[in-house]
Amino acid sequence: MINGNLLKLLSALSESEFRKFGKYINSPYFNANAKLILLYDHLSDFYPDFDSLELSRQNIFRKIYKEDRYVEGTMFYLISEMEKLVCSFISQEKINTLSFDLALLEDLSKKRIDSLFEKKYRSFLKKLDSSNDSDNFFRYCSSVIYSSHLDNQKNQLTKKDVFREEWFNPLSELIKYFLKRILTQILLLTNYNRTLNEKLEIPFVRKIMDLIESESKYLEQPDIKIIYHLIRIHIYNDEKSYFTAKEFLIKNGKKLSKVQISEIINSLLIFCFNNMMNGKSNYSEQFEIAKLRIKFNQLVVNNIIRIDAFYNLFMMAVSLEEFDWAQDFLKKYSINLEQKFRNNAVHYGNARIFFYKKEYGEALKELSKIKNFSFIHYKPAVKILQMMIYYELKLLPECTDAANSFIQFLRNDKLVHTDYKKVYDRFIKIYLKLVNVESSKKMSKLNDLSQTVKNLKEMLISRKWITVKIDELEKRMKNSQTKQAI
């Protein structure tokens, strides 16, 4: 086979990019080697997989050079040149056109073609206003070029020109660029802090935040303002920053890049999650934020939905008893899951909907169709749903067995996060007390359980369901006492 890097590069090109590369390699401006054109034509027959025994160096050499005697050095050179051309093509395709504009402005200034420079500079600023210069880099570079252009003209300047703001723009734009870049890095590190290492120290974070807070003009810059508030959400779980970021997203979402929208939504969900873990659940708010993923086309990327986003959105709908919405969501979007996740998602989702409809037998049938657990959160979710179904069917021995099985699973499993294990343990303890009351029919135990649930401030899975079951037990036990008294 020929050079692996070359085939990997060509395979990575989309169909349209591969065709463009064909035009690129046929252009005498970019390529003067006719043999490279022949190599492209030959390789194009095997795009995109390039999986054929015909792609040996010897076969390709004979095809291109029409000679039986194979020359390794010639073939090595040809492949090397082809690889350079592919890399050059990718660079040309991916480079921001603003970079070309900056290069032109700089050269026009040096060549002292002043009238054309001024015209192109004004045009560049208009283009900049409508482009995504998220970190202020191109605005900073253009201000440096313009300041340099003025400096080249200093012999023609008057005293009034000394006070032109263009002299000071480079410093101003540099500060904005610096703040945007460092805030972006701080935001990235706070994400790492949350997911990887709680003891990670982020340098300068307090000084940078103090600087922005002391100079209100920086918070007048929308890009700086939003990152500042996202950081406050991550570090302080700040409620004011949460609502500021949410309002910013709703008002400006259509103008933002997908990366910016994703950063904001993830930060908003982190705020909701932190509150939930501290017993301040607001599922309606969390559900509203999650649905913004759909509104701003963040849910499906390259025709694929991430399983964690799918699971969280479905579970939020279930917790709010938005079952019609959940059922529609399941039907519409499960096809966008990777194949390995569909079995878990579809059958668990169907089981939850059957449970809501009180069709407990059908719910158990759906759970029995689940094969290997492909996503870490589905196994605990299935165990919890099984426990709830067994209770509804009053299969009390099965209730206890399922709870003990869940306890054993949590002890042995190394993947479930410690915080989640605490939440699951809390549910199991309350659930076993509920089963015990159902079995013993003792009012004193029921009162203890009811008081425990009411006083519990931390997150409790299926709190509403447990509360309803307690109320049902209380009603049945009081009715039973009344009948006995009569």
The CA dihedral of 324, 471, 272, 456, to the nearest 10 degrees, is -160
Q: Looking at the domain assignment, is residue 259 inside a domain?
A: no
Does residue 27 sit in the same domain as residue 40?
A: yes
Q: Which of 36, 61, 94 is the last residue of a domain?
A: 94
The terminus-to-terminus CA distance of the chain in angstroms comes to 92
Same domain for 401 and 486?
yes
Question: How many distinct structural domains can be found in the chain?
Answer: 4
Among 118, 124, 119, CA closest to 102: 124
Residues paired with residue 305 on neighbouring β-strands, in sequence order: 300
Q: To the nearest whole number, what is the mean pLDDT of the chain?
A: 87
pLDDT tens column, 80-114: 999 999 999 998 888 878 888 888 888 998 888 98
Are both 51 and 152 inside the same structural domain?
A: no
- Residue 60 burial (CB count, 10 A): 21
Q: Note if the pTM is more than 0.75.
A: no
Residue with the bigger pLDDT between 393 and 109: it is 393
Say which range, 81-95, 349-363, 472-486, has the weakest mean pLDDT.
472-486
Chain segment 277-334, per-residue pLDDT in tens: 777 777 788 889 888 888 888 888 888 998 988 998 899 899 888 999 999 999 999 9
Distances (CA, A) of 403 to 98, 356, 399, 446: 61, 21, 6, 19
Q: Report d(CA 401, CA 398) in Å as an integer.
A: 5
Q: Which residues contact 107 (CB under 8 A, 6 or more apart)?
A: none
- 431, 401 in Cβ contact below 8 A? no
Closest CA to 373 of 409, 328, 332: 409
Residue ranges of alpha helices (H) inside 337-441 are: 339-356, 360-368, 378-392, 396-412, 418-440
Out of 368, 393, 425, a domain closes at 368
Residue 108 included in any domain? yes
Query: Exposed (0-12), middle (13-18) or buried (19+): which is 230, by Cβ within 10 Å?
Result: buried
pLDDT tens digits along 365-375: 999 999 888 88
Grouping H, G, I as helix, E, B as strand and the rest as coil, residue 20 is: helix
Q: Give me the domain span that covers residue 465.
A: 376-486
Kindly give, in sequence order, each residue whose CB lies less than 8 Å from that of residue 263, ignoring residues fewer than 6 positions away: 187, 230
